Amino acid sequence: MAKVVALTSLTAVVLTAAGRLLYRRWFHTPANYVRELNRQYYKEAGVEAKRQQVGPHNFAYLEKGTPTTERPSLLFVHGFTGEKENWLFVLKRLPAERHAIAVDLLGHGDSTDYPDDPSIRNQAQTVKKFVDTVGLQKPFLIIGQSMGGAIVGNYAAMYPEDVATVTLLCPLMKTPTPSTMIADAKAGRTTALQDAFSPEAVQYMLDQCSVEKREYPRVLLEGIAELRRRHEAFFGKLYFALGKHENRTALETSLPKITVPVHVLWGDQDQIVHVSGTEVIEKVSPRSKITIIKNKGHSLNVECPQIVVDSVLDSTRGTTPKSSL
């Protein structure tokens, strides 16, 4: 999550007594502090925050660069409870001549409208409406992380004329081996899923998403939790929807229908979606390129953004054996 790892001097200021007074005067709430961190990183990444009305829904998104007929644009789709800012480290590392959009899915981030049907297939259809309305040049490179991976996989299967290549980062799917988080939840070893909007739950989820653990400033955790609470009811609805068989297997059933090159990146220490999902992908989509990244977890967009950029821009995808980095 870029808002977490992009800590600036603002954090150091807040940690002092005088800083806490200035913090209350400047930001008033932890959420405003997080928003300011994001705004500062927008500048570093060279992106602009925009909005787009699509029928009854209002989408928020980030845009970098200018479209050109010489190079395909890129579309980034985040995961469950994520947001467009999750891609800031990746967007920062994209060459200046590349055009890219990172969208807030409905019910996430600053896209405050909610879909009636939160299924993977319907979310893919909603992304299609956004793409057509915003006028994204086709075909484009589409990239999805976690739940976003399942969404873009379905998108590519449903709208093959829109897509040039597909990149999946630790995509949401039913895996032969349950992940650590799922196993802990089933065994009752964590209450994070029942109290997902507290600072403690945010810290827990950040620990689960990355191999490198760090203790974040309380104000940062409070700010993230405050922003997440805007969508509390929808996140609960979406969580249970994603547990349904049709959504857990949505990527598995769509992969054989994809006609463009697919590259799968997966951290071998992923505690959210187990890396054994690559075994399923090998069976249903043997032409997909699979790269397992050593000593990385679920949030590859934060843990190794340059690897993600290089993989997305690599034009040599195709029939390639499973490899490791």
pLDDT per position as a tens digit, 9-63: 344 444 444 445 555 556 678 999 999 999 999 999 999 999 999 999 999 999 9
For residue 192, how many other CB atoms are within 10 A of its CB? 19
Q: What CA–CA distance (Å, rounded) separates 83 from 147?
A: 12
Q: Does the residue 321 lie in any domain?
A: no
Q: What CA–CA distance (Å, rounded) separates 223 from 202?
A: 10
Domain assignment of residue 146, given as a range = 2-314
Number of domains forming the structure of the chain: 1
**What pLDDT sits at residue 311?**
97
- Positions of the chain with pLDDT under 50: 1-19, 192-193, 316-319
> What's the CATH code of the domain at 210?
3.40.50.1820
**What pLDDT sits at residue 106?**
98
Q: Does the residue 76 lie in any domain?
A: yes
Quick: pLDDT tens for 169-204.
999 999 999 887 777 766 665 554 456 789 999 998
**What pLDDT sits at residue 191?**
52
Q: Does the residue 121 lie in any domain?
A: yes
pTM of the model: 0.90
Q: Does the residue 260 lie in any domain?
A: yes
Contact 144, 151 (CB under 8 A): yes
Q: Enter the DSSP assignment of 215.
A: P
Calculate the alpha carbon distances from 181 to 199, 212, 293 in Å. Answer: 18, 16, 19
**What pLDDT sits at residue 113?**
86
Rounded to 5, what percent of the chain is helix, strand, coil?
45, 15, 40
Q: Does the residue 246 lie in any domain?
A: yes
Which amino acid, residue 169? L
**What pLDDT sits at residue 320?**
52
Q: Does the residue 219 lie in any domain?
A: yes
Q: What CA–CA distance (Å, rounded) separates 296 from 310?
A: 16
- Take residue 25 and report the two structure tokens written for it: 């005067």
**What pLDDT sits at residue 28?**
77
Q: Does the residue 319 lie in any domain?
A: no
Q: Does the residue 324 lie in any domain?
A: no
